Chain A
Amino acid sequence: MFQSVDEVIAGLGKQKYLCNKNVATVVYLGTSLQKPLLVEGPAGVGKTELGKVLADSLGMELIRLQCYEGLDEAKALYEWEYAKQLLYTQILKDKIGEILEGAKTLQEAVDHVANQDGVFYSDRFLLPRPLLRAVLSEKPVVLLIDEIDKSDAEFEAFLLEVLSDFQITVPEIGTLKAKHIPLVVLTSNNSREVSDALKRRCLHLYLDFPDPEREKEIIQLKVPNVGDKLADEVVRLLHRLRKLDLKKTPSISESLDWVRALTLLNIKDLDHELVEQTMSALMKYEADIRKAHQELKSYLAEKQARRPDVSDDKDHLH
């Protein structure tokens, strides 16, 4: 576990995840108070990544539960393996016959079977899903519940019990209590407001797009062979793009993809005809791409205006 806020920054940094003091404080508090973290923010700022990196830096296993509409307990918690149970009864038919042998009346036969039913409702036939796995795990784990806002309100309510007591009741077996309280990270895109009851149990963290300097650091960390100038220009353009009203604002991971594409094509700055064509790595909607092209043009025009002499020089060099 982390001992201080600075340790969090260092630990996550080792996994190539740069975070500011705010994020680090929340993570530190979450791990020390053993409270779930609820991470909110626009798509693509690294919410899920935070959960993964946290697991890596603490050397814990990551158990991930992806939420979606219609996700129910059977998918999240546990399921009985019907087919296996059936198969076993088929194979063990003779044995069952033996058990029933002595029985004279139907009542007695049922009693005999009833004595054995524990065999069929045991761990052997229990198919653990992410939540149960996190609870049963021998070692402490990080439980990442991704996009909680996509799940239904009922599932969220069900989650309350699990998150506050870290125990799960299976009617046929009994209550299973967590050996280690897992470190829970919930992420939400805010497509639905998560209920207050759940929020109360969590520490809240709002992740936003990083400021230009940090984003540049991130780009340089993840794409080591990117030129300083290109990184600088990309970040500046990105921040302008994010101010536009787009269907989907470019996320950090998309901008990394884009920078990778640019470096692969050996592009050194944005005054390149190929830049426009690679923008599809950044934007996913036709209308957005069109807007981005315009923004790129005006950006380049402004740049030109700022230092006309420099670009002239470059023409001579060609």
Chain B
Amino acid sequence: MQARVIEFANVLRRNGIRVSLSENMDAFRALELIGIADPQLFRNALRTTLIKRSGDQKSFDELFDYFFLGIGQALDAIDRKIMEELGLSPEKFQEMLEQIQKLMKEMEGDLAELTKALLNNNRAELERLLREAMQQETQGGTPDSLRHTPYTRMMMRLGLDRVQSEIERFRGMLQMLGENGEDLQNVLRYLDERMRDLNRLLREVIQQEQRKQGAELRDSSQRGALADKSFSFYTEDDIRRMNDAVARLAQRLKNRLSVRRKKAARGRFDVKATLRKNMQYGGVPFLIQLDRRKKTKPQVMVLCDISDSVLNASRFMLQFVYSIQDLYAKVRSFVFVAEIGEVTKLFEEHDIQTAVETALKGDVIDVFSHSNFGRAFEQFHRNFFASVTSKTTVLVIGDGRNNYNRPNEWVLREVKQKAKQLIWLNPESRMTWGIGDSEMPRYAPHCHIAEECRSINQLYKIVDLIVP
């Protein structure tokens, strides 16, 4: 059993779940206590000792099924089927098996292990043989692995032709013995069925193994691919999964911030406060007081372009903005196409999905007009410039495609002078900046940071830039 558990831990590891040696040992100790009789307890014991992230629970359940129940379930199904086809009750079936066993003993010559297991209906043995073959198959690829299908290779490994000939011999012997009537017919049919079952079982095992391998590849590669995929190619499904990534990103931002705030909290020696605090000890400075540095609450203003040209990107960016607003106390969010509108209130009051959809639907501003960055910036200057302070970080998200309108880059120049930071995130590739109606070359010099932000990975990097 220990070997099986270790093997299982390896499968978990291959699926990106971290399992340490000490956890493995915990699992053994747990199994010593719990035993392996009750499958549910067995599963629980493994889960609690090996799986420590709630996100991994699902993978664990899936892999556990493949690994421990896979062949067993298939065998169960086959047993039931045979009984049904032969029209035998479980007791009758057992009787027949015993009969066969007796006959097998009489038969001279060694039978292959697999034949024995098959005819005896020895499930544990059958399972072991199949699994071993499968393991050899996955570990050491045969030299002619390209010429044969996995199925034929497994057949060769298990020595299926030998089993076939042996069963034929068995049949011959039975007929020679000339047992009469129904019993013989049943046994013969049973043999036929068994042979077919073996084939079916083999296919099932191979399929499961492939699924297992597939599961391994699937998860890690998909997440990786998603991280590098450009926003504009996201499908609905991607977007849903992206929510998770955004949440993680926001969490990361939060962690970084809390570390920084804590570092900043320790200040210099404060004489006055120390004296006051130590009055109770007769003025002996037992407790040292440090002055607290003033906490600067980050103020963020986000301007997000939601025109058609960047629709997918802006949906994602709005989610990002929403998370930011959740994080910082003072965030004001704006969306713009040709006009600018504030969505801070909307984001505060609604959950993320409704808020983002409402913002994109055109309830706040007209989303069907052509983008006009210049005008939006001018409006921003007129209505909101007063709230930009020396502590404000201004974040602009947009492709800078201005439809040849007046760029009004002077707004950005003034914002840069007044604000703490001006950051521009562009969902377009840097190569295309300045081509066509893109005004990025005019805008970029006025920003502290102007970065291409086309995928979640780039966003991660930018978060590191913004929050050092």
- List chain A positions with a Cβ less than 8 A from chain B: 5, 21-22, 25-26, 28-29, 32-33, 35, 38, 40-41, 69-70, 82-83, 86, 152, 190, 192-193, 196, 199-206, 245-247, 287
Contacts and interface: CB of A to CB of B under 8 A. Distances in A.
Contacts of A70: 262
A33 B20 contact: no
Interface in B27-60: 29-30, 33-34, 40-41, 44-45, 47-49, 51-54, 57
A199 B54 contact: no
Q: Per DSSP, are chain B's interface residues mostly helix, strand or loop, or mixed?
A: helix
Contact of B251 (A29, A192, A245): A192
Given A33-B29, A199-B52, A204-B53, 11 more contacts: A21-B40, A21-B44, A22-B44, A33-B33, A70-B262, A86-B286, A193-B53, A200-B20, A204-B47, A204-B49, A287-B349
Nearest to B50: A204
A70 B44 CA distance: 35
9 contacts: A21-B44, A28-B33, A33-B30, A41-B54, A82-B287, A86-B281, A86-B284, A203-B26, A204-B49
B350 interface: yes
Interface in B261-307: 262, 280-282, 284, 286-287
Nearest to A245: B351
Most chain A CB neighbours (cut-off 10 Å) among B40, B48, B350: B48
Contacts of A22: 40, 44, 47
A58 to B, nearest CB: 17
Q: How large is the interface on B (under 10, 10 to 19, 20 to 34, 35 or more residues)?
A: 35 or more
Contacts, number: 79
Contacts of A69: 258
A80 to B, nearest CB: 10
B166 interface: no
Interface string B196-238: 0000000000000000000000000000000000000000000
A127 to B, nearest CB: 14
A287 B347 CA distance: 12
Contacts of B52: 38, 196, 199-200, 202, 204
Contacts of B251: 192-193
A25 B42 CA distance: 9
B18 A25 contact: no
Given A69-B258, A152-B262, A200-B52, A247 B41 contact: no
B353 interface: yes
Contacts of B281: 82-83, 86
Nearest to B30: A29
A272 to B, nearest CB: 28
A21 B262 CA distance: 42
A33 B44 contact: no
B353 A245 contact: yes
Q: 3 shortest A-B CB distances, which residue pairs?
A: A199-B52, A25-B44, A26-B48
Contacts of A33: 26, 29-30, 33
A200 B52 CA distance: 7
B45 A29 contact: yes
Contacts of B26: 33, 35, 203
A50 to B, nearest CB: 14
B255 A192 contact: yes
Contact of B53 (A192, A199, A245): A199
A199 B99 CA distance: 55
Contacts of B49: 29, 203-204
Contact of A21 (B29, B41, B351): B41
Given A21-B40, A25-B44, A86 B282 contact: yes
A83 B44 CA distance: 51
Interface string B325-352: 0000000000000000000000001111
Contact of A29 (B23, B48, B53, B258): B48
Nearest to A41: B54
Contacts of A193: 53, 251
Nearest to B31: A29
Contacts of B149: none
Contact of B54 (A40, A83, A196, A200): A40
Contacts of A83: 280-281
Given A33-B30, A69-B258, A245-B353, A25 B45 contact: yes
A5 B34 contact: yes
Contacts of A202: 52
Contacts of B41: 5, 21, 25
A86 B349 CA distance: 55
A26 B44 contact: yes
